[in-house]
Chains A and B, each alone.
Chain A
Amino acid sequence: MTNSFGSSILAFLVLLPAVASADNYETEIRPFLTKYCVSCHGPSKQKADLRLDKLDPDMVNGSDADMWQEVLDLINVGEMPPKVAKAQPKRSERQVIVDALTLSLRQAMEAKRSTGGRNVIRRLTAYEYNNTLRDLLHLDLQYAADLPPEGSAKEGFKNNASVLGTSGLHIEYFERIARSALERIILAPTEQPTPYFVRVEPELAFKPEPVAVPADGKRQKKQRKPKQRSGTEYDIKGAHFVPDKNVRGPLFRLDHGEPSAEGNGILLAGNRPGDKVGDPFAADRKIGGAQGDGRSGYQPEFRVEIYEVPHDVPVLVRVKLSAVPGKDETWPRLSFELGSFRGANVSDQKEAANIEIRSTEPEVYEFVVHGANFPFQSNKPGRPSYFRIFNDYRRGTSQLTYDELPKLNIDWVEIRSNHYEAWPSPQKQAILFASTNQDDELIYAREVIGRFMTRAYRRPVSKSEVDRKLTLFQKLRDQEASFEATIISTLTAVLCSSNFLLISEPEETTVDEDAADRRRLNDHELASRLSYFLWSSMPDATLFELASKEQLHQPEVLLSQVKRMIADPKSAGFSRNFASQWLDLAGIRRLAVNPEYFDFKEKDKELFEEESIQFVHEVLKSNLSITNFIDSDFAMLNPALSAHYRIPSISGGSFQKHTIDKSHHRGGLMTQASMLFGNSTGSETHPIKRGVWVLERMLDDPPAPPPPNVPDLPEPEGNDLATLSLKERLIEHAQVESCRDCHAKIDPWGVPFENYNALGQWREGTRDPLVHREHQAVNIDASTQLKNGKKIHDVNDLKNYILTEKKPQFRTAVVRKVMAYSLGRYLEFSDRSAIDSICETVKRENDSFQTLIEQIVLSEPFLTK
């Protein structure tokens, strides 16, 4: 091994064997020890029982790696050599030994976790398990919700085999989840269940005579005009179906709505108006919503409460409505939720749809959801389930009055639970398919089990594999109540099998312990690798067929499949999971917004997450250059997020691509709220965290972890500290010389984002008008200097710098991140030549993201085990 450590990026990428560490021991470590340490920790004296000249320089195989870490930490924090020592190392000398030890220890750590550059058998991640059951059973439910939460590898990837532990609790849940899913499908009644149906004409709330006794028992005063008192419940006297006379009938509840002009519906305005004077509900808007749903109680809403509705079944919701546009071409947004009450004022709910309505003509909107995916069943007996509609238009900073707000004009609402389009369900027919052998239980069982296993194991199954499951079937048949019940138990065993739960690539023949050579994956193994990479799920029929014909491994077939898979909606699985893990989007949920600084809706965190996912997805789908990750002339926005960013006049429904220019201060991933907020403190910016994020995620150059007992960046508290500039605080943080050295490598990558507050909103000068008044005084200075002397004035400067001088490093970083994700393991030295050649091709192809993915799929590490 002759690699030098000259280039730091190279050194980070390369796993060098122990002998190289010994090299740098002789040239860099030993001289320092001899000069400054050995007089106290050597042959003559052994202060603290420590003899440094005898420590084993081999940090990989030797037994002294822990001691070396101790040595590094003490030098790092400036405790050693002690201040009283006569010989004090120069700053540059200290830097050399710190770098050398850091590097060696890092290599030792990498060597320890090495799998020899080969993929290791691994369990499906919780999300892969969920998606696989979804595709296997053709039923989209939240299967993995009760599984123990999962951790992630150091680089953030959850599919790294080393962190995918299996425990008894896991197996217990896998069995339970599989059985209940199979029972749901197979044990469904022969007769199609009767639908539960409710239709509501909301204008009933405005009949001049009270239509019912309000639930609070108080009689309403005679009303002069159709005006509805907020918070009053009404029995629904319209057409509805109640399965049991003892069950309380449905109720509906209207907050802050008014009758439509035609009188056949109601109007729901979005948001609280900018002026209180013209607000007909001003008096009612005193109480904010304390239900943890991220919305304030100010918002008008229309809610139907239903008792003992079949909840664990498909639900069809139909709404007839039209839009009443607001001033300045603003449009209402229909949001609906399914939920339930668990206390008088405590509810759980989940949004099922959120769409902008632009049709001024009444139209019927239909949604089919599965009740099991929502907190639709109350866990408190007697409390109702509910269905809620509100207008999710956000006023933002505009000052629209009540009359100017866009409104939803709702004519009627229908809810149909137990909504099945076919019976028996297609899911059941897929497992218990029609066969001429249906009369012979054993032959039919073999057919059913065999077909199911083939899909569950993601490969053809041998006769003996089916035989053993058939043996289980026969063993259980006598004790089980029916053929169906026995099938459920047998297929439960299939879904608890190591062949289903684990992605394994076993040896083709008996294992030869010495056979370190990689082998080519067979086509079915390749199909799985491909589909878990791009879909986070099992291979589909096309992949399976190509694998069976042994064509999949052919490069042209592979390439066309990659194209097809990216075009398939399931590629959202890649964008969502890769982006979340690469960019650490979970950081958004980990962090809480300080209410002393911001008015913030918890729900907006989802926007931050979604923006980055959608952005990565757009680069993938449209086959754009990966340089867009650093800077782009477009942003993925929806109205709520553009309001957060103060980007005016974004219309349209869900997240869409919008062209932007420099005046918007957006473009690329680094200036998205996910990164800026996720690496703040929830009240203040945190340039160190932001810098570390850029180095780790964009440049794959993670800084060494801080030595023990380093205090956190002090948060300003009280008015006197609020004006302390960030740079002063950084200096306070890095009082020790060696800390400054490290921070000189980190902080300049975070300081340029100082123009973005903790929520990622743009700010300039000496005021941040977006936070509460007492925290507005700031001292924004985004200019900095990189360790190499390069001056950076602002965030655009930083982006340009990365896209010019750091471009190869950035490209390599993206290749490595995607590759580690595609393989489900840490990258190692043996992957290096593949990475180099992928980088070259990607560079030639204008940094196209699809090329990058194709090249990874065609690479040696991906195709072999």
Chain B
Amino acid sequence: MNHKSWHLSRRTVLKSAGVSLALPWLECMAADKKAAPKKRFFAGYFAYGVPMPADDDPDRMDHGWFPVGEGRDYQAPVMHESIMPLREKVTFLSGLSHPSMRGTSAHKGADYFLTGANILKTYDKQSISIDQYLAQSLSKDTRFRSLVMSSFGGVNRPYRSSTLSFDRSGRPIPAQNNPAEIFRRMFGEVTDSEKNALASRGSIIDEVLSEAKDLNRRLGTTDKAKMDEFLTSVREVERMTERSVKWQSTPKPKVDPAELDLAANPTSPREYLTVMYDLLALALQTDTTRVATFQTACEEAGVTDRFPSAIGLANSSHSLSHEKKNYEKVASYITFLNEMHANFVTKLDSIQEADGTLLDNTLCFYGCATSKTHQATNYPIILSGGKNMGFQHGAHLQYGDNVPLSNLFVTIANQLSGPTEKFSDSTADITEVLT
């Protein structure tokens, strides 16, 4: 039985807000004080950029995204009110972007937001995303390597990705979008059938793998490339199975689904985003995984385009983003998305762990890969939490348009994972976010 990975304090149980979590006293909780702090990472994405009224516009503060003023004395526009109670745990960043994608026609943001890869003309240079990079070292002791979520689900297609996460070979990792299924995988009661299944899964996967290798030997070159993907996937399940076997004697955290609207779907955006963020919080709180991504919307026509209906707007989120004069509607829509994100961050901060709040042990990176309509520069970014990993907040940091976002990823990797000199096309690191 592996206790190391099970560091839930009883206060966790008592303090959890909104979602009820009942845990038996476990021996492993006693280890709380001594254990090395747990490091977690969350990356979130929203679609289609932000309103940017001119600085002399009377509505600058009412409708704009970016704060006014630099450093600690900045003023946050109205749309960020929901997160401002956490001012000292939040940093706004402006100016950053991925250099090789600055000339893109937009809508591709989710493809490269976390990878920084140059996929402008071909897709063959797609590379690992920062979350998966971190998962290599952060998720050794958790039930799941990472939790990859998006409102669309799956991977969709190149240039209209519906996942933020890409594996070592640059292959997209399908995102989960069904709250009930996400809940089941993480917290669902293990049925007898599933216990049986786990007992025989190892042998089954062995057989599937060995049979696939047999087939592979009889294939031509082009087929082999495709078959390789199948083999990799089966090996992945093999590793997942090993993980599950290792974990099977540890009971899954008991989470009462009654508080969660698991049947919610993206046609009711408020309910859907709430339950998805709640699941993220639960995943991190219960140490089910330490790495999670959530793409709230896909930049392609579809159900997530109707998210503005949550606040009674008939416009699609895409058409709102094309507004060039009257930013009132788009601002109120982004305000809504910000509230959803702020609720999540606030919830993390309300959950106590041995050495601070869950937010202090979770670095949250949230933003979008366009600023003004279809401009793939000056990404709007909010960084929050991660105090115990050396992050310092309370400021608005402005960078020039030539600074690669991957510089921030280098810093994140250094703090969370270990010495990292380079990520994607980084040129340096960004130390201003550190204490």
Contact = CB atoms under 8 A, between A and B. Distances in A.
B219 interface: yes
A511 B196 contact: no
B207 A472 contact: yes
A337 to B, nearest CB: 16
B29 interface: no
B196 A123 contact: no
A706 to B, nearest CB: 7
Contact of A682 (B181, B223, B303, B316): B316
A66 B237 contact: no
A120 interface: yes
A502 B230 contact: yes
Given A121-B223, A481-B196, A712-B322, A594 B314 contact: yes
A576 interface: no
Contacts of A346: 263
A151 B155 contact: yes
B174 A493 contact: no
B51 interface: no
A589 to B, nearest CB: 8
A149 B154 contact: yes
B104 A708 contact: yes
Nearest to B172: A165
B204 A499 contact: no
A486 B152 CA distance: 37
A168 B233 CA distance: 4
B245 interface: no
Contacts of B160: 151
Of A66, A118, A152, A348, the most chain B CB neighbours within 10 A belong to: A66
Contacts of A176: 197
B299 interface: no
Interface string A23-60: 00000000000000000000000000000000000000
B190 interface: no
B203 A151 contact: no
A153 B156 CA distance: 10
A150 B160 CA distance: 12
A595 B121 contact: no
Nearest to A147: B154
B157 A167 contact: no
A225 interface: no
Interface in A488-504: 489, 492-493, 496-499, 501-502, 504
A151 B156 contact: yes
Nearest to B120: A66
A468 B196 contact: no
A706 B104 CA distance: 12
Interface string A85-123: 000000000000000000000000000100110101111
Contacts of A167: 155, 171, 173-174, 233, 236
B219 A146 contact: no
B204 A171 contact: no
Contacts, number: 198
Of B153, B181, B263, B316, the most chain A CB neighbours within 10 A belong to: B263
A70 interface: yes
Interface string A354-373: 00000000000000000000
A161 interface: yes
A708 B203 CA distance: 51
A740 interface: no
Contact of B240 (A73, A122, A172, A292): A172
A497 B157 CA distance: 25
B357 interface: no
B104 to A, nearest CB: 6
B177 A149 contact: yes
A166 interface: yes
Nearest to A116: B222
Nearest to B104: A708
B200 interface: yes
Contact of A706 (B105, B154, B226, B375): B105
Interface string A580-609: 000000010111101110000000000000
Contacts of A481: 196
A681 B153 CA distance: 24
Nearest to A711: B322
A70 B217 CA distance: 42
Contacts of A146: 178, 181
A492 B204 contact: yes
A472 B203 contact: yes
Interface stretch (B208-216, B398-406, B424-432): B208-216
Contacts of B152: 149
Contacts of A489: 196-197, 200, 203-204
A342 B275 CA distance: 15
Contact of A506 (B218, B258, B316, B318): B218
A479 B195 CA distance: 12
A450 to B, nearest CB: 15
Contacts of B17: none
B26 interface: no
A289 interface: no
A461 B362 CA distance: 53
B103 A498 contact: no
Contacts of A497: 208, 211-212
Contacts of B173: 167, 169
A511 B374 CA distance: 49
Contact of B211 (A112, A152, A499, A590): A499
A714 B212 CA distance: 53
B302 interface: yes
A104 to B, nearest CB: 13
Contacts of A522: none
A146 B300 CA distance: 22
B162 interface: yes
A175 interface: yes
Given A65-B121, A506-B218, A479 B199 contact: yes
Given A149-B154, A166-B233, A709 B374 contact: yes
B422 interface: no
A118 B221 CA distance: 11
Nearest to B178: A146
Contact of A496 (B157, B204, B267): B204
Interface string A541-565: 0000000000000000000000000
Interface string B90-103: 00000000000001
B227 A121 contact: yes
Contact of B153 (A148, A513, A707, A709): A148
Contacts of A709: 105-106, 374-375
A379 B263 contact: yes
Given A292-B267, A379-B180, A712-B319, A493 B207 contact: yes
B82 interface: no
B233 A171 contact: yes
A732 interface: no
Nearest to A593: B314
Interface in A659-700: 681-682
Interface string A139-168: 000000010111111000000010101111
Contact of B193 (A148, A180, A592, A712): A180
A179 B373 CA distance: 48
A385 to B, nearest CB: 14
A809 interface: no
Contacts of B175: 148
B122 interface: yes
Contacts of B233: 166-168, 170-171
A175 B201 contact: yes
Given A118-B222, A479-B200, A485-B196, 20 more contacts: A112-B122, A121-B226, A148-B175, A151-B157, A153-B157, A167-B171, A167-B173, A168-B233, A170-B233, A171-B233, A179-B193, A292-B268, A475-B203, A497-B212, A498-B212, A506-B219, A507-B219, A511-B220, A591-B301, A711-B322
18 contacts: A73-B103, A120-B222, A121-B223, A121-B226, A123-B230, A149-B152, A168-B236, A175-B204, A175-B237, A346-B263, A348-B263, A468-B211, A480-B200, A492-B197, A492-B204, A587-B301, A589-B303, A594-B314
